Chains A and B, each alone.
Chain A
Amino acid sequence: MNQKNTVTEQICVPMTVDVPYRFAAGKYMARFLTELRDNGRFVGVKCPSCNRVQMPPRVVCAACHVKNDEWVELSSEGTMVGFTIMYLPLTDPTTGKPHEPPFVYGSVRLDGSDSTVEHMVNVEPDLDKIWVGMRMKVVLRDREERIGDLSDIIHFEPLPGQKRPQ
């Protein structure tokens, strides 16, 4: 028996934890997602106090601590506020499959909303073809393919006829 406290072998055990969950979307998110799925529309809620339009809709305006109950329809067009060209094969946590790099994704503020939404952008990974401030539109899956989550959005696509600002 080795009496000295010397490490002779380091043991590391691989393990995977796979835990099933059942997640309730709640009243506000469910209405948002069913509008998206059934009618192809984006809806937000407007704060009765500060008039801020929030998407996705939520029960309370965090800034004002008041209940949101006015629903407003938003445009399917908006403006890019930040983007990236991703060179890493990011795993989609909802499918376990990687998004194939390089790909472009970004954060878009839909017209009429104070919030932004993040998704893939259908442009080549080229800095001449994507910029902050670019006008975008949402491209949705066909009605029968939509399931009621953000994967109902295929991607954003630039509105035609735009030139990169110098």
Chain B
Amino acid sequence: MKRNVAIIGGGQTYHAARRHDVDQGEMVNEAVRAALKDARMTMDDIDAVFLGNMEFFEGTHLTDCWLAGSAGAYGKPGMKITTGGTVGATIIGAGMHHVAAGLFDKVLCIGFEKQEEGDTGAILSGVAHPLYGRSMAGAAVGYFAMMGTSYMAAWGAKEEHAAMVAVKARQNARKNQYAHLKLDITIEDALNSRMLAYPVRMLDMCPASNGACVVILGDEKTARDRCKKPVWIRAMDTAHNEQFEIDWRNVTLTKPIFSTACAARMYKRLGVDDPKKYFDVFEIYEPATWAEMVWYEDLGLCSRGEGFKLMEEGATAIDGPIPVNPSGGVLSTNCIGASAMLRVWEAALQIRGDAGGHQVPKEVNRALATAYGGTNWTVMTALSSSTED
């Protein structure tokens, strides 16, 4: 990177299924104010604003224009970014590139979603080709169900392993004051929850949440002058999969796909030999339980086909050796346009030691955040307490 870039502040709303009390702008403004307060800044300090959400989820286009006032963007440079489920991380990536390149010193990044305002399944069906697959499109649940049957057949995992992920997420969420689904559930509860699409049950899926997240980025001089606990972005990378090839349904796949290719490139750049030792905590984008276990494998936290064993051992518990999603993750909160940014912000909070009730009980110096969106691509962010990494 030409210039080092740090996360110098951030904030989020309380996430919930219903926010009829606010419009999109008022909701975004809550997170903007929280982030400015955290960074001890005002909008006058901010050079540029980058904002994004899911395309047309709220039935409105040009959300950057709609929200210019409440986002604080009026009269400032910046742009709207829309990359699907990854968008929150892509916004940070765009902000990071601008700061690293020296164009701006202080950038405000906003990801938001008012998911209740639209029909998620109907809008997502537009991701599928009109002549090839759209008639079956309409919900992510079927996709993750096929991932589940494929994963069980390939590796001998059981529905109980998915239930363990469901419980871990919601029990962690109970420690996170901002999380949406704070459920005191057991494995039996997860296994007895309503079947949506075999083997995916209600508690195997993320909720539809409303919420916003804001992260403020600064160059090294700003970070050292103004921020007590800057969290440094040491690397960001992205990789796409190709249209029509939904590789995660065939979970034995050995060729590189978006997730493994992206991780390999980032690890090489950072000199990571063993990611589970290099990083102290992970915040990954898991819209369904099965995806979490596949992520373990794609990130190299275990061998192919052993993700469910890692879960079974409790290795990824909040107090385990490889804590994954102490925040409760996407399974507990999914305001989609904010979800990938929340992964980065939650990872940054862990490094700052400011995660509160869901702070992992060990020293955290490095964290990895992933984003995930259709039709299968990722943005990964490596964070550190030091610029020496």
B197 A84 Cβ-Cβ under 8 A:
yes
Say how far B146's CB is from chain A's closest CB, in angstroms: 3
- The chain B residue sitting closest to A125, CB to CB, is B198
- At the interface, is chain A mostly helix, strand, loop or mixed? loop
A-B contacts, CB under 8 A, total? 119
Q: How far is the CA of A151 from the CA of B136 in the complex (A)?
A: 10
Q: How far is the CA of A90 from the CA of B150 in the complex (A)?
A: 21
**Contact flags A69-99 to B (C-beta < 8 A → 1, else 0):** 0000000000001111111101111110000
Given contacts A63-B242, A82-B150, A83-B146, contact A90 B132 (CB under 8 A): no
A82 B146 Cβ-Cβ under 8 A:
yes
A84 B135 Cβ-Cβ under 8 A:
no
Across the interface, A58 reaches (CB within 8 A) one of B128, B195, B243, namely B243
B249 A91 Cβ-Cβ under 8 A:
no
**Contact flags B190-204 to A (C-beta < 8 A → 1, else 0):** 000011111110000
B20 A151 Cβ-Cβ under 8 A:
no
- Residue A17 interfacial (CB < 8 Å): yes
Instruction: Chain A residues near B134: list those with CB within 8 A.
Output: 93-94
B131 A149 Cβ-Cβ under 8 A:
yes
- Residue A1 interfacial (CB < 8 Å): no
Say how far A56's CB is from chain B's closest CB, in angstroms: 5
Q: How far is the CA of A12 from the CA of B197 in the complex (A)?
A: 31
B149 A82 Cβ-Cβ under 8 A:
yes
Say how far B29's CB is from chain A's closest CB, in angstroms: 13
Q: How far is the CA of A82 from the CA of B147 in the complex (A)?
A: 7
Of listed A54, A84, A85, A127, residue having the most chain B CB within 10 A: A84
A56 B198 Cβ-Cβ under 8 A:
no
A58 B131 Cβ-Cβ under 8 A:
no
Instruction: Chain B residues near A151: list those with CB within 8 A.
Output: 135
Q: How far is the CA of A149 from the CA of B131 in the complex (A)?
A: 5
A90 B21 Cβ-Cβ under 8 A:
no
A127 B146 Cβ-Cβ under 8 A:
no
Interface residues of B in 124-141 (CB under 8 A from A): 125-126, 128-139, 141
Of listed A29, A55, A87, residue having the most chain B CB within 10 A: A87
B138 A133 Cβ-Cβ under 8 A:
no
Instruction: Chain A residues near B126: list those with CB within 8 A.
Output: 93
- Residue B245 interfacial (CB < 8 Å): yes
B195 A87 Cβ-Cβ under 8 A:
yes
A127 B198 Cβ-Cβ under 8 A:
yes
Instruction: Chain A residues near B153: list those with CB within 8 A.
Output: 131-133
Q: How far is the CA of A148 from the CA of B132 in the complex (A)?
A: 10
B133 A12 Cβ-Cβ under 8 A:
no
Say how far B193's CB is from chain A's closest CB, in angstroms: 12
Given contacts A33-B131, A118-B133, A150-B131, contact A90 B200 (CB under 8 A): no
- Residue B275 interfacial (CB < 8 Å): no
- Residue B66 interfacial (CB < 8 Å): no
B196 A93 Cβ-Cβ under 8 A:
no
Say how far A146's CB is from chain B's closest CB, in angstroms: 13
Instruction: Chain A residues near B195: list those with CB within 8 A.
Output: 85, 87
Q: How far is the CA of A92 from the CA of B132 in the complex (A)?
A: 13
Say how far A18's CB is from chain B's closest CB, in angstroms: 11
- Residue B59 interfacial (CB < 8 Å): yes
Instruction: Chain B residues near A84: list those with CB within 8 A.
Output: 142, 145-146, 148-149, 197-200
- Residue B246 interfacial (CB < 8 Å): yes
Q: How far is the CA of A111 from the CA of B208 in the complex (A)?
A: 39
- Residue A116 interfacial (CB < 8 Å): yes
Say how far A128's CB is from chain B's closest CB, in angstroms: 13
Instruction: Chain A residues near B142: list those with CB within 8 A.
Output: 84, 86, 90, 105
B246 A107 Cβ-Cβ under 8 A:
yes
Instruction: Chain A residues near B77: list those with CB within 8 A.
Output: none
Given contacts A10-B20, A132-B153, contact A23 B147 (CB under 8 A): no
Say how far A132's CB is from chain B's closest CB, in angstroms: 3
Q: How far is the CA of A131 from the CA of B136 in the complex (A)?
A: 20
Interface residues of A in 19-55 (CB under 8 A from B): 21, 23, 25, 29, 33, 54-55
Instruction: Chain B residues near A58: list those with CB within 8 A.
Output: 243-244
Say how far A5's CB is from chain B's closest CB, in angstroms: 11
- The chain B residue sitting closest to A33, CB to CB, is B131
Instruction: Chain B residues near A131: list those with CB within 8 A.
Output: 153
Instruction: Chain B residues near A109: list those with CB within 8 A.
Output: 250
Instruction: Chain B residues near A105: list those with CB within 8 A.
Output: 136, 142
B197 A87 Cβ-Cβ under 8 A:
yes
Of listed B134, B139, B145, residue having the most chain A CB within 10 A: B145
Which B residues are within 8 Å of any A CB, using their own CB? 20-21, 59, 121-122, 125-126, 128-139, 141-142, 145-150, 152-154, 194-200, 242-246, 249-250
Taking A10-B21, A63-B242, A150-B135 as given, write out 20 further A-B residue pairs in contact, using a Cβ cutoff of 8 Å, ordered by the A residue number: A23-B131, A29-B131, A84-B148, A84-B197, A86-B142, A86-B145, A87-B197, A88-B141, A91-B121, A92-B135, A93-B128, A93-B135, A93-B137, A107-B246, A118-B146, A120-B136, A132-B153, A149-B132, A150-B132, A150-B133
